Amino acid sequence: MKEGMLGTILGIFVVLVILVIAAFGSGALFIIDETKQVVITQFGKPVGQPIISAGLHFRTPFVQQAHYFEKRILNWDGDPNQIPTKDKKYIWVDTTARWKIIDALKFLQSVGNEIGAQSRLDDIINSATRDAVTNHLLVDAVRDSNRILESKELGEDAIFADEALERIEVGRQQLTRAILEKTKVLAPQYGIEIVDVRIKRVNYVEDVRNKKCWRLSMVLKS
Amino acid sequence: MEWKDNVPTPDDIIDVGKKKMGDFLRWLPWITLGLFVLIGLKGVIYSIGPDEVGVIQRFGKYIGLSSPGLHAKIPFGIEKVTPIKVEKIFKEEFGVRTVRPGVRTEYSSAQYLEESLMLTGDLNILDVRWIVQFKIKDPVKLLFAVRDPQDAIRDVSEVVMRRLVGDYTVDEVLTTKREEVDHLSQQEMQKILDFYQTGVQIVTVKLLDVNPPEKVKPAFNEVNEAKQEKEKMINQAWEAYNKVIPKAKGEAEKTIREAEGYALDKINRAKGEAERFLATLAEYKKAPQITQKRLYLETLMDALPRAKEKYIIDPKQSSILPLLNLGEKGGVKQ
């Protein structure tokens, strides 16, 4: 008698486990992690709004498909660009950006996946950076204030390149902000929000750098 | 055959086997249950280290944190716990890599110029190396807000460092403003990382080696030597100046004082003289004859004792020659 009851309980338990496993296996039940969001499609046609809340969710198995997307802030790292400034100096500009998927459905429709998104971001951020840098002097991309010029006027001795004596009008932070504003407007059509764009590295291109070193040596020696 | 009775027939053996098998079948459910419990327990019990915090997710959804110690969770992937080291201080290096930390830490001899070369405000190139130390202040944000927090930290640090160095001159970054750069970059990094909600706290930012690029170094050293030489010369000049100038100044002062004294004396004398003359004039006006005579006599009184030789001649005498053999040696002497 006792053994029979145990058998029944065990039986129910096993059946339940099998059911749950089957539910997960067929995809009827699925888990969305805190870091993910999901778009449900039925034969390729989107069903309802993207699911952004994490937890256990249900869909019709075999018919509906779940597409997972990141919910967190993602990286974008630009390829360094060789860009001439307004005063015809060639520099390498390396930008970095943070972005996230705010409209998973639009994201799925317009760019498909993260790799697609990265390449669209390449396009819009690189061109915005190029526009911003070519419209300004080299010092604008480097400095943020005229502080050192003012201190030079106060008579502190410093080694100055001629082009460094230009006063800045915009400055690096403003320049960055301009790039961000411009890209921010373009991103929503991909379901993307650009959180931040920053100029990471600004450097002379190789031969200018060598010349620069040489020139600096000369200035230092004179 | 005695021993035959004790030997079991094959049937007996099968019977015993059947009986044992029956026992086993009876115990099978219990064994299965036990196995499940064991597997379950393995997934149920977990421990969180003293420097950690566990982030619990049920079906992927964040439900809470667990403190250090032994805890239980629902197994079979229903609950997931990610331990996060919240006390540990992590380090990111820029332009250098530690190969083997120790009493004498070894650094990689390779150069990471793409990380460390940057432009200064005076458009010169500097090789700047630095480290960032950080810890995790919010494990939930760390896990769920940004995908690659480490990349974010590295990017932000480079952004901030370059922006700051871009606002200083070579000399300032090399010498006087190092601490200022440390401090400002820590603040600014924190601001940006908070904006990204990385859940990371910057403990410190420290500049390590800051050098001019290799190619410029010799020239740079020469300039520094020259600068020191200049300082030395200036100091020497001041020393010489200090030796001579105060003394000369003192002398000048003294001369001026003397001259002033002399002038005062002269003026006073002249004033006295004038007063005396005026008094005499008043006397003269009262009685011109007497005063004239007195003045004549006074003048003579003053003049006669100073004359070396005196000749008194009668005014009536027409010629003086007969009387006096003037110029003759051994002539009239007083």
- 8 Å CB contact of B124 and A75: no
Per-position b or e across B164-197, b if 16+ CB within 10 A of its CB? bbbbbbbbbbbeebbeebbebbbebbbebbbebb
Residues 11-50 of B with CB under 8 A from A: 26, 29-30, 32-33
Distance CA A200, CA B277 (A): 98
Same domain, B70 and B19: yes
Distance CA B146, CA B165 (A): 27
Distance CA B234, CA B237 (A): 5
Task: Report the gap between the CA of A17 and the closest CA in chain B (Å).
Answer: 11
Mutation choice for B interface testing from A3, A217, A218, A219 by most B CBs within 10 A? A217
Q: Look at residue B26 and tell me if it is in a domain.
A: yes
Same domain, B95 and B62: no
For residue B1, is pLDDT > 50?
A: no
Mutation choice for A interface testing from B79, B119, B142 by most A CBs within 10 A? B119
What are the start-end ranges of the H helices in B207-311?
Answer: 217-286, 288-303
Which of B32, B144, B159 is closest, CB to CB, to A200?
A: B159
For residue B136, is pLDDT > 80?
A: yes
Q: Look at residue B135 and tell me if it is in a domain.
A: yes
Same domain, B194 and B100: yes
CB atoms < 10 A from the CB of A183, how many?
23
Q: Which residue in chain A has the smallest CA separation from B140?
A: A34
Determine contact: B172 vs chain A, CB below 8 A: yes
Same domain, B34 and B148: no
**Among the four given CATH numbers 1.10.10.60, 3.90.70.10, 3.30.450.40, 3.30.479.30, the one describing domain A74-221:** 3.30.479.30
Q: Are A180 and A129 in contact (CB under 8 A)?
A: no
Task: Report the gap between the CA of A43 and the closest CA in chain B (Å).
Answer: 26
CB atoms < 10 A from the CB of A140, how many?
23
Predicted pLDDT of residue A161:
57
Residue carrying the six token digits 């379901």: A191
Domain ranges for chain A: 2-70, 74-221
Q: Look at residue B241 and tell me if it is in a domain.
A: no
Predicted pLDDT of residue B134:
93
Predicted pLDDT of residue B328:
56
Task: Report the gap between the CA of A99 and the closest CA in chain B (Å).
Answer: 10
Q: Look at residue B119 and tell me if it is in a domain.
A: yes
Q: Look at residue B178 and tell me if it is in a domain.
A: yes
- 8 Å CB contact of B147 and A36: no
Which segment, A218-222, B34-38, B106-110, B268-272, is predicted with the most confidence on average?
A: B268-272
- Domain boundary, last residue among B84, B108, B126: B84
As for how many domains chain B has, the answer is 2
Predicted pLDDT of residue B13:
79
Determine contact: B145 vs chain A, CB below 8 A: yes
Q: What percent of chain B has pLDDT over 70?
A: 92
Same domain, B112 and B173: yes
Predicted pLDDT of residue B327:
60
Task: Report the gap between the CA of A45 and the closest CA in chain B (Å).
Answer: 26
pLDDT in tens, chain A (222 residues): 455 677 788 888 888 888 888 777 777 788 888 888 888 888 878 888 888 888 888 888 778 888 889 889 998 988 888 888 888 888 888 899 999 898 888 888 888 888 888 998 898 999 998 888 888 888 888 887 777 776 665 444 555 555 666 677 778 888 888 889 988 888 888 889 999 999 888 888 766 666 666 566 655 555
User: Per-residue pLDDT tens for B175-199?
Assistant: 888 888 899 999 999 999 999 888 8
Q: What percent of chain A has pLDDT over 90?
A: 3
Strands of the sheet with A45-51, listed across from one edge: A45-51, A36-42, A64-70
- 8 Å CB contact of A36 and B60: yes
Which of B117, B121, B171 is closest, CB to CB, to A203?
A: B117
Most distant CA atoms of chain A, gap in Å: 106
- 8 Å CB contact of B171 and A72: no
A161 compared with B54, residue with greater pLDDT: B54
Report the first-to-last Cα separation within chain A, whole angstroms.
106
Q: Look at residue B186 and tell me if it is in a domain.
A: yes
Q: Which residues contact B46 (CB under 8 A, 6 or more apart)?
A: B54, B70, B71, B72, B73, B81
Query: Does the interface predicted TM-score (ipTM) exceed 0.90?
Result: no
Strand, coil or helix: what is B121?
coil
- Domain boundary, last residue among B212, B227, B247: B212
Task: Report the gap between the CA of A203 and the closest CA in chain B (Å).
Answer: 6
Residues 71-100 of A with CB under 8 A from B: 71-75, 77, 96, 98
Q: Which residue in chain B has the smallest CA separation from A216?
A: B216
Determine contact: A18 vs chain B, CB below 8 A: no
Determine contact: B143 vs chain A, CB below 8 A: yes
Same domain, B166 and B196: yes
Q: Look at residue B194 and tell me if it is in a domain.
A: yes
User: Per-residue pLDDT tens for B138-171?
Assistant: 888 888 888 888 889 999 999 999 888 888 888 7
Distance CA B258, CA B55 (A): 94
Per-position b or e across B267-300, b if 16+ CB within 10 A of its CB? eeeeeeeeeeeeeeeeeeeeeeeebeeeeeeeee
User: Per-residue pLDDT tens for B254-291?
Assistant: 999 999 999 999 999 999 999 998 988 888 888 888 88
**For residue B18, what are the domain limits?**
2-84
Which residue type is seen at B316? Answer: K
Which chain A positions have a beta carbon within 8 Å of B219's beta carbon?
A: 216-218, 220-221
- Domain boundary, last residue among B36, B58, B84: B84
Residue carrying the six token digits 């630095």: B130
Predicted pLDDT of residue B5:
62
Q: Look at residue B253 and tell me if it is in a domain.
A: no
